[in-house]
Chains A and B, each alone.
Chain A
């Protein structure tokens, strides 16, 4: 009876863990297997092609466009969301009246699907009827805004909508960090004659470093996974000008009948995320025992 009681917890979680690990790691390996086959419309495990799909991938102009867009999007999206989020968090931390309401307003986009907000932004950024018409009606008749339909600017529309969606998230994380800082630190610095901006730059920001770090991590991995927003706003277009790896993978796998190539691009995405997250997870788990 005693040994059964000891065994029970393991027995209870075992089936779930087996399923969960099969889903995460089993399918990951399976995807890797697919990527070394010549699969096209259907998976074909008999045709082993080695690393040929990866060679094809890194030889494709479209893949480089997707990577360039990902780089642009990641830097601007992560940087923009963090800058705006930090600004709002610091300002909200100045004993603002109606702080709760403001916070709710800044954060609500996070509760919405990227498809919902993407549909709205598509209308707002519409070249003739959207922002452009508004400016014309106000009296700025020379205003022209057709970023959404131009190859070299469409990705910036995705950036704008992305920052709008995620800035409140960064704000919430920073605000939680700021609330954890002892007020007396600021008071002491003020008595020493330091100005408020200086205090934030030199004292508060360094204290917030762990929060800043994990925010960068979370936002960057979100940017690698960005799929819905691009699909809703530009669907990768015009042409494939605003493609990102996530839309590239989907198009190759499900509409172009290039399953092997799609699997190879998915493996690359996995490698990007792993390079970002694994060191973080490792350090988090390693440092835990010291905290307790």
Chain B
């Protein structure tokens, strides 16, 4: 049985090395954020900070400079909150209604419509950037958070519809048919029967949308103005500011702050996030 023990050991060793590989950047971010400028120069990536120096966190949050703007990451973080919350709620509700119709109230051509909608999940959004910025201009929403909310709702709708449609397809038709026999209408069935059964897919969709929208950079950088930049754009600008000495400790603190909301969601509700990942990929 020695060979077997040996191979078990090898398996655990490989998995352990992988743990190191995946956690190392997080560790580096954390220890770097607690160092001061002197320790940045004298220490190395893995060396521990001397004490918990919170200065770079404070700088990153409220006074680090991006160009001439020295308000830290805070305003960008708030913009992201103001953008993500309505966009997540609207796109999820929209997807739920669409999915409900496409699974339980199929009509002639609805499958074809769904197929064409699916391409929206995969399309490169570069294709909508230029026309959309003109549309936002016509609507008076250029460089505004409302404009970003609108874009995220439109861009996310195909994905949320896919999630709900696939989930509702698995609900037994008899349930809906029985309710229809009893005289329940379209909305009544939705509110009384379908929505109460939707908690798992609701969680998956909310978390999926939140992660996507919070982490978005493309729309943020293309459509936002000075006062509506989301946190990813703020972080990128801060990290790429070339004036003065590069403050990697502040950059790392800022990066952790920007990543904290999605990280928290992942730790608290990871299984829903994983379901969203695999559902979006496997079930086309």
**A residues touching B (Cβ–Cβ < 8 Å)?**
5, 8-10, 12-13, 16-17, 19-21, 23-28, 30-31, 34, 43, 84, 87-88, 91-92, 94, 96, 102, 104-124, 126, 129-131, 133-134, 136-137, 164, 168-169, 172-173, 176, 211, 214-215, 218, 221, 224-225, 227-228, 231-232, 235, 245-246, 249-250, 253-254, 259, 262-263, 265-267, 269-270, 272-274, 277-278, 280-281, 284-285
Contact = CB atoms under 8 A, between A and B. Distances in A.
Nearest to A102: B15
A282 B168 CA distance: 22
B83 to A, nearest CB: 14
Interface string B96-139: 01100110010100010101111110111111111110110000
A87 B14 CA distance: 9
A211 B124 contact: no
B235 A23 contact: no
Contacts of A218: 280-281
Interface in B38-66: 40-41, 44-47
Contact of A91 (B11, B127, B222, B232): B11
Interface stretch (B140-148, B150-158, B191-199): B150-158
B70 interface: no
Interface of B: 8, 11-12, 14-15, 18-19, 21-26, 28-29, 32, 40-41, 44-47, 94, 97-98, 101-102, 105, 107, 111, 113, 115-120, 122-132, 134-135, 154-155, 157-158, 185-186, 211, 214-215, 217-218, 221-222, 232, 235-236, 239-240, 248, 251-252, 254-256, 258-259, 262-263, 265-267, 270, 273-274, 277-278, 280-282, 284
A192 B272 CA distance: 40
A228 B97 contact: no
Contact of A110 (B113, B129, B277): B277
A130 B188 CA distance: 60
B123 A16 contact: no
Contacts of B131: 26-27, 30-31, 34
B119 A24 contact: yes
6 contacts: A25-B116, A107-B270, A113-B217, A115-B217, A123-B251, A262-B130
A21 B113 CA distance: 9
Contacts of A120: 25-26, 28-29, 252, 255
B262 A113 contact: yes
Contacts of B129: 249-250, 253, 266
Given A13-B101, A16-B157, A116-B215, 5 more contacts: A21-B116, A27-B132, A91-B15, A112-B262, A270-B127
Contacts of B105: 9
A240 B185 CA distance: 59
Contacts of A277: 119, 122
Contacts of B28: 120, 123-124
Given A91-B11, A254-B222, A13 B258 contact: no
Nearest to A88: B18
Nearest to A221: B122
Contacts of B120: 20, 23-24
Nearest to A106: B22
B130 to A, nearest CB: 6
A23 B154 contact: yes
Most chain A CB within 10 A, of B107, B111, B123, B273, is at B123
Contact of A250 (B155, B222, B280): B222
Given A34-B131, A176-B278, A269-B124, A108 B22 contact: yes
Q: Which are the 6 A-B pairs with shortest beta-carbon distances?
A: A9-B105, A113-B215, A111-B266, A30-B131, A116-B259, A284-B284
B44 A134 contact: yes
Contacts of A250: 126, 129, 218, 221-222
Determine which residue in B118, B211, B232, B270 has the highest number of CB atoms from chain A within 10 A of its CB, and name it. Answer: B232
Nearest to B154: A23
A246 B124 CA distance: 9
A73 B278 CA distance: 23
A116 B45 contact: no
A176 B116 CA distance: 28
A270 B123 contact: yes
B211 A105 contact: no
A266 B124 contact: yes
Contacts of B98: 13, 16-17
Contacts of B18: 84, 88, 102, 106
Given A108-B22, A123-B32, A173-B282, A27 B273 contact: no
Contacts of B122: 221, 273, 277, 281
Given A87-B14, A134-B46, A266-B129, A9 B107 contact: yes
A188 to B, nearest CB: 19
A26 B116 CA distance: 13
A263 B259 CA distance: 32
Contact of B25 (A13, A19, A124, A176): A124
Given A119-B255, A131-B45, A172-B274, A214 B236 contact: no
